Structure 1
């Protein structure tokens, strides 16, 4: 067992890239590559693994039906995994206490935690709204690694 600091250290090593896995309805695993970062949960202040995901994807459908995810990050031969229930906030996933302005700022915060930068934040906000992007946070109940 390790802690989220180990995950955060590795995630900074490859542009925030990690593989995330969700469960399909038939119990098989759906995996894909995303950018993620470690930050504080906007409501609880606890450490989480956050990512910005496009609405309408298979990944989002899986998470809405079975709200649990695993993220694995690797740099060279070192890797770390964080798994746990997810918290979702977005235009299709409203959360009490997260209004449109707070969501806009949260999308930016998660994006930057994942190593993202942008030259035109107004354009970023427009694209996030157009693509119905959501913030997905893994609230890890397990973090483990090979190191």
Structure 2
């Protein structure tokens, strides 16, 4: 059986955002108070301004960490674990209710499309006190796939 060769493809910002838009499984990496990394599996999307958006709660470690040190990384995975992935580094803004409600509507749309009852959704976001994290990409890795180094190809 032929071995799969690892690949890396450098992409410009527009191609990066196109890649991320169709992938919603992510790992958000923030920095704890002691400087150690904090990793959180999250669901995310891309808003109309090209920011990676992630919904959370203000009490969660990822939100606390992002408020303290807004430089974060997001590892964007494919649905197939062995599929392509990319790491995006950026500056994170945390938005809380009530200001987060309309951006959370856009977040929902970027992942799931239209909601059957937007008034109900907005009220749920207020009732839950949801926060939204918006990450402005400042740099990113090439889009990569796993596998063997080319020197080991059959």
Q: TM-score, normalized by length of structure 2? A: 0.73
Aligned to 1:5: 14
Q: CA deviation at 1:30?
A: 1.0
Q: Does 2:26 correspond to 1:29? A: no
Q: CA deviation at 1:129?
A: 1.1
Q: CA deviation at 1:13?
A: 4.2
Q: CA deviation at 1:115?
A: 3.3
Q: CA deviation at 1:119?
A: 2.5
In structure 1, distance between residues paired with 2:64 and 2:113 = 25
Q: How big is the alpha-carbon RMSD for the aligned residues of Structure 1 and Structure 2?
A: 2.2
Match of 1:128 among 125, 129, 137: 125
User: Number of residue pairs matched?
Assistant: 132
Q: CA deviation at 1:21?
A: 0.7
Asked if 2 retains the 8 angstrom alpha-carbon contact of 1:70 and 1:82, the reply is: yes
Q: Which runs of 5 or more structure 1 residues have no equivalent in the other structure?
A: 42-46, 92-99
Q: Does 2:46 correspond to 1:38? A: yes
Match of 1:82 among 70, 88, 97: 88
1:94-136 superposed Cα distances (whole Å, 9 cap, x missing partner): xxxxxx4x64222100221133553232222122112211221
Q: Does 2:82 correspond to 1:53? A: no
Q: Return the index of the structure with the highest Cα Rg.
A: 2
Which aligned segments of 4 or more residues in structure 1 are displaced greater than 4 angstroms?
none
Q: CA deviation at 1:72?
A: 1.2
Q: TM-score, normalized by length of structure 1? A: 0.76
Aligned to 2:139: 142
